[in-house]
Amino acid sequence: MSRIPDAVRRRIPRLARRGRRISTLETDLQRARRRSDVVEIRLNHLQDEIVRVRDASRQELARRDEESEAERRKARRARRALDGERQEVERRQHALEQADERRRDLERRLRTSSFRAKLSGQLAAQRLSRDRSWHDTSIQAQLTVKLRNYALAESHGVAVPVVHAAWRSVDDIHLDGLEADRLVLKADRGHSGRAVVPLERTATGWRTLDGSETLVGGELTPQIRRRLDEGGSGPYFAEEFLDSETGGTLPADIKVYTCYGEILQVLVMQTDGVEAGERDTFTRRYFDADGESLGRVLPRVKLSSEMPRPEPWDELLEAARRLSVTVGLPFVRVDLYTTARGPVLGELTPAPGGLQMYRQDHDLAMGAAWVDAETRLERDIARGRPLGTLFGEHEYTWWYDAVEGGRGPEDPSTWPRRRADAEVPYTPPQVEDRDLIRPTDGAAEHAAEDAAEDAESEADETDETRPSADLAEERVDGDVNPGAPAGDDGPARR
C-alpha cells in the first residue's frame, strides 16, 4: 500500500489519526517480533536444557540402577554368606551334639563293661607280649601262630586244613613234588592278608587264583616272595585249598565270638570274589547262638537278610565252644569254614582289630559276657585248672621241629603243651545274674532308636557298601584260607 504523504495526512484529521495508529501498530509488531525472537531463542535454550537434563537424568537413573543392582548383588552375597554361616553353625551344633552323645555313650560304656573296651585291653596286652618276646608265657602271643593253632585244634578233634609241606624260609619254598591241584601258601605269623597266596596248577607250573601271576615250575615269582616275606614271618607252609559248599570261589568265612565256652555271636561272610582284599564283594550276617539273625548290630557294613545260617550249625558251634574253653583266655574268636568233611579251623584270633563299635546294647551284652568269663576262668584256675592253653588227647602234627632254626622264646617248640581236660573243672556261663553289668539308664532307649534306624536302612538298601573313607580304616584279616574274607572287624595285630 502506498504511503500517504505527511503533509496531506496532517491536513486530513482522520487520515492523520489512522496514520499514527498504523505507525503504532507497526512499532508494536516490530516489538512483538523481537519478543517472539527472544522467546524462540529462550525456547530453543529450554529445549536444549530439557534434552541435557533428560540425558543427565537417564545417565543418573542408569548409574543408580547399576548401584542398586550392585547393592542387590552385595545383599545376595551377604545373604548367601549368612546362610552359609548359619549352616556352618548348624553343622557345628550337630557335630557338638554328636560329640556329646559319643561322650555320654563312652561314659555309659565305661560305667559298665564294654566289649570294645575289653578288646582294646586284650589287644594292648598282645602287643606288649609280642614286643617283649614273651611268647613262651603269653597266651595272646601264642595264639597268633597258625601251625600251633592247627596242632591245638587237632588235639581236640577239630579238623584243620591239610598241610602239604612246610619250609623254614621263603628261599626254601619249592612247589615241585606237591600233588595238589590247588593250594594256599601262608606265613605262620602272617597278617593283613598279604601272606596268603592261593595257587592253582597249570600245564607248565602254577598261577595265582586271580590269574595275575604265573609260576614256571615250582619257583616263586619275586612278587609272591615279597608278599610272603613282607606280610609275615616263617615258617611258611602250603595247605589245602578249601572248596566252598555254596558254589562260590571261596568258602564262607564263619567267625564265632566266644567267651570261655559261651557263644556271643556268629558272623558269616560270603563273597564271589577271589581275594580277601576285595572287601566290597563281601556280604555279612550276624547270628546269635540259636541261629537267629541279630540284625544290624554293626553299622555301615554290607548286610544280607537272605543269607542262611551255615550248616552243620551245631557242629560248628560245638567246635568253637570246645576250642574257646581250651585256650585259657576269657575271649577268643574262632574262625571256621564249612567243608564236605565238616567244620574246619581257619584261625584262632584273641584280639580282632579294626572296627568294633557295635550297637550299644549289643556291645554291653558282650562285655558282660566277657566279665562273666573272666570270673569263671579265675574260679576254675583256683579250683585246679592248669594255666595256659591245654592240648587234648588226640594225636596231632607238629611241624616246628623240622623247620624252626633256634630254640628261643619265640620258637613254639619251647612253649608249654600241657595235655589236660579243659572242662575239669569248668564253670558254665552264668547268664541269669548279670544285673551288675546290665546297660545303664538310657541304653534301652538308644537301642530302640538304633533298631528302628536299622530296620529302615535294611528296607532302603539291599546292597549297601561302605564309604571309602570309612573302608580305609578297615584292614584285611590275614588269618584266612585262601585269601578268604576278613572279618568286618579286621585282623588281629601281630
**C-alpha cell belonging to residue 298:** 554293626
**Neighbour-count burial of 426, counting CB atoms closer than 10 A to its CB (0-12 exposed, 13-18 middle, 19+ buried):** middle
The pLDDT value given to residue 239 = 94
Mean pLDDT of the chain: 81
Q: How many CB atoms lie within 10 A of CB 462?
A: 12
CA-CA distance, 180 to 228, in Å (whole number)?
20
Strands 390-391 and 418-419: parallel
Q: If you count them, how many residues does the chain have?
A: 494
Lowest mean pLDDT among 11-15, 53-57, 271-275: 271-275
The pLDDT value given to residue 246 = 60
Residue type, position 23, single letter: S
Position 387 confidence tier, pLDDT thresholds 50, 70, 90: very high
Q: Quick check: 362 and 294 in contact, CB under 8 A? A: yes
Helix (H) or strand (E) holding 266: strand 262-270
DSSP-assigned beta bridge partners for residue 268: 254, 285
Backbone angles phi, psi at 83, to 5 degrees: -65, -40
Q: How many CB atoms lie within 10 A of CB 144?
A: 28
CA-CA distance, 143 to 403, in Å (whole number)?
19
pLDDT per residue as tens digits for the range 20-49: 888 888 888 888 888 888 888 988 888 888
Sign of the alpha-carbon torsion through 11, 15, 21, 27 = negative
Residue 285: pLDDT over 90:
yes
**Neighbour-count burial of 357, counting CB atoms closer than 10 A to its CB (0-12 exposed, 13-18 middle, 19+ buried):** middle
Q: Quick check: 337 and 319 in contact, CB under 8 A? A: no
User: What is the pTM assigned to this prediction?
Assistant: 0.69
Residue 278: pLDDT over 80:
no
Q: Choose among 392, 130, 362, 153: nearest CA to 265.
A: 362
pLDDT per residue as tens digits for the range 407-458: 678 889 989 999 999 998 999 998 876 754 544 444 444 444 444 444 444 4
The pLDDT value given to residue 310 = 92
pLDDT per residue as tens digits for the range 227-241: 888 878 889 999 999
Strands 418-419 and 163-167: unpaired
Counting residues of the chain whose pLDDT is more than 90, the rounded percentage is 38
Sign of the alpha-carbon torsion through 118, 120, 121, 122 = positive
pLDDT per residue as tens digits for the range 204-219: 889 988 888 888 777 8
Backbone angles phi, psi at 330, to 5 degrees: -65, -30
CA-CA distance, 326 to 350, in Å (whole number)?
13
SS3 of 183, please?
Answer: strand
Q: Of 45-59, 317-331, 417-431, which has the strongest mean pLDDT?
A: 317-331
Helix (H) or strand (E) holding 347: strand 342-349
Lowest mean pLDDT among 11-15, 71-75, 110-114, 427-431: 11-15
SS3 of 405, please?
Answer: coil
The single residue listed with the C-alpha cell 552385595 is 74
Q: Which residue has the higher pLDDT, 278 or 147?
A: 147
CA-CA distance, 389 to 156, in Å (whole number)?
12
Q: Quick check: 338 and 294 in contact, CB under 8 A? A: no
